[in-house]
Structure 1
């Protein structure tokens, strides 16, 4: 089981309300337990055991709920007409192939399917990320040389 699958499993368990999930394969065992308290992930391999604690999301205060919902509603309306290009992996986001080269994309540029939009460095490997959509870049959501997570939005594109 790779890290992507583990992350997806954690998300699934936290959304489903299940209290415990255990998966056992030949050389791999993972148990995810949830209570109303923090989520605990335990994984054991033939190597040493790794334990990661993931705190439960804190509920917002009642006074700020109305403000948050109205701001999210506006953002949701704006974002609904755009397509999001998301990170396919965890790593470091770069807008160009080297510091002295121009950026792959800027706001206002047109992008087509298959065009390289950025590079994500993961474990000393530089992965070119290609667009799966065509359109005009409206917003770049990540700063150059910033760490990114799996499925994190990178660009907003207005479809053509």
Structure 2
């Protein structure tokens, strides 16, 4: 089971209203529990391999959070769309220190374009645009810690 499949399972469980799901396939065991308040998933991911240890129960939300950032209309100006962080981690504007930034203010983006990378537990997750438009503002400094649902970019979809 790869990261995308786990992310899709988390999305499904969060949206379904189910309290708990357990999945066992081969040497992988996954338990996802949601609370009634806010439907926040609590994930246990265990892989029975001699080199790997079980991921602590408090941290895996960052490791397996959805990669695609969901656009949300900004409160301060309804004509812009806010792209928020889908996970806790470290925000990077560049794919590598010696490379150019993914996007700049004024950049035109299309659906599926990579906007940044959020590193969580040594996994570098590319955050893709779910809308087309123009970057109006970058709300986070490079190499800064970000929280779940923290605004990252303002996009003008027109």
**TM-score (norm: length of structure 1):** 0.51
Q: Is the 8 A contact 1:105 1:117 kept in 2?
A: no
Consecutive unaligned residues in structure 1, runs of 5 or more: 55-72
Q: Is the 8 A contact 1:32 1:39 kept in 2?
A: yes
Higher mean C-alpha displacement, 83-92 vs 45-54 = 83-92
Shift, 1:85, TM fit: 4.6
**What is the distance in 2 between the residues matched to 1:2 and 1:14?**
19
Deviation at 1:83, TM superposition (A): 3.7
Alpha-carbon distance in 2 for matches of 1:113, 1:39: 30
Q: Which residue pairs with 1:18 in the alignment?
A: 18
Q: Residues 117 and 13 of structure 1: is their aligned pair in 2 closer, same or farther, counting only changes over 3 Å?
A: closer
Structure 2 unpaired stretches of 5+: 60-72
Q: Which has the higher helix share?
A: 1
Distance, in Å, in 1 between the alignment partners of 2:97 and 2:137 is 21
| Whole-angstrom distance in 2 between the partners of 1:159 and 1:41 | 34
Partners of 2:4 and 2:145 in 1: CA distance: 16
Partner residue, 1:41: 43
Distance in structure 2 (CA, Å) of the matches to 1:27 and 1:101: 40
Aligned with residue 117 of structure 2, among 109, 117, 120: 120
Number of positions where the alignment pairs a residue of Structure 1 with one of Structure 2: 136
Distance 1:84 1:2, change over 3 A: farther
Q: Is the 8 A contact 2:90 2:144 kept in 1?
A: yes
Equivalent position SS for 1:32 = strand
Q: 1:100, 1:30 → 2: CA distance? A: 37
Structure number with greater Rg is 1
